[in-house]
Amino acid sequence: MAELLRGIHHLTAITADAPGNLAFYTGVLGLRLVKKTVNQDDTSAYHLFYADGKASPGSDVTFFDWPVGRERRGMHAISRTALRVGSEASLAWWRDRLIAAKAKTGEIAELAGYVSLDFEDPEGQRLRLVDDKGAGQSHPWDGSPVPTAHQIRGLGPITLSVPDVKPTAAVLTQVLNMKEARTHPLPNGKTSLHVFAMGDGGPAAELHVAVEPHLPIAGQGAGGVHHVAFRTPSVEMLHHWTERLASFKLPSSGEVERYYFRSLYFREPNGILFEIATDGPGFAVDEPLESLGQRLSLPPFLEGRRASIEAGLKPLQ
């Protein structure tokens, strides 16, 4: 039986305002800062990880802090990140909260098969809350300003914008073993959204591909997304995916040790960066679960440079 990806592992986006980003994602969205570290390829930049109370795989929204201008929106990019909540009542609660926080907020509506609420963070990061009807496990955070009943449960469908679905669909189905589950028309009536499911599917394990050839080509920047990662359970299974990409002659990074998980990076045919990441060992490998994110964490190969790295980082609060 072919190995199946388990769903969304994490999504990494870009901020040019780390203190403001921290205030919004913890103070407004109520997520937990589970790892305060640096970009391992650019140690001048914070890499902030927000997740649920147990820092579960599939709940991580992460940010590189780079001094860049705003994203130019368009195709060949990840265009919206969904986060799951447990009920339609939660969506109504969130709409009031986001309006009170002066966030750009839409209306509750059915979108791509889910009752949803679109909104943006202060830098224009396009987000969506979806009602997952309480399916699966959740791990609330006791320190969240958001009541347990309304807390964000994890990542939901991630939406890509492409000019042509065919090359992306070929990689998703033939290489990554996803299934095309359904298609939805987009509001303009001329384009469509294709839903691809991993494993058993559901909102935590879907990739949505919007066909939008009329858009300009996106330019990466603050308020945009860098990459999306998919879950695999172990290093052994990551080896399988490394071999599988090679068998399809898809260029990749090779396996990269990120300390909290092991990763494999590659681009799909429309240029969007994908990652496959292991579920473990997780964020408690170098600090206690109860105190995650309270100090700057560095992987062992960077620990000897701690003083110089800390000196180059700006305060977050």
Average pLDDT, integer, range 58-67: 97
Q: Give the model confidence (pLDDT) of 121-159 as tens digits.
A: 999 999 999 999 999 889 999 999 999 999 999 999 999
Cβ density class 77-98: b for 16+ within 10 Å, e for less: bbbbbbbbbbeeebbebbbebb
Asked whether the predicted pLDDT for residue 51 surpasses 80, the reply is: yes
**pLDDT: is 186 or 13 the higher one?**
13
Average pLDDT, integer, range 1-29: 95
**pLDDT: is 200 or 10 the higher one?**
10
Domains of the chain: 8-311 (3.10.180.10)
Q: Give the model confidence (pLDDT) of 96-108 as tens digits.
A: 999 999 999 999 9
β-bridge mates for residue 273, sequence order? 267
Question: What pLDDT does residue 166 have?
Answer: 98
End-to-end CA distance of the chain: 50
Q: Give the model confidence (pLDDT) of 157-214 as tens digits.
A: 999 999 999 999 999 999 999 999 999 998 777 789 999 999 989 999 999 999 999 9
- Position 67 confidence tier, pLDDT thresholds 50, 70, 90: very high
Q: Is the dihedral of CA 307, 15, 140, 96 positive or negative?
A: positive
In this prediction, what percent of the chain has a pLDDT beyond 70?
A: 99
Single out the residue of 207, 248, 267 nearest to residue 231, CA to CA: 207
Single out the residue of 47, 111, 60 nearest to residue 302, CA to CA: 47
Q: Is the dihedral of CA 247, 250, 256, 261 positive or negative?
A: negative
Asked whether the predicted pLDDT for residue 87 surpasses 60, the reply is: yes
Residue 171, helix vs strand vs coil? helix
In this prediction, what percent of the chain has a pLDDT beyond 90?
A: 95
Asked whether the predicted pLDDT for residue 1 surpasses 50, the reply is: no
Helices (H), 10-164: 18-22, 88-100
Residue 174, classified by CB atoms within 10 Å of its CB into exposed (0-12), middle (13-18) or buried (19+), is: exposed
- Position 317 confidence tier, pLDDT thresholds 50, 70, 90: confident
Residue with tokens 């090359």: 167
- Position 2 confidence tier, pLDDT thresholds 50, 70, 90: low
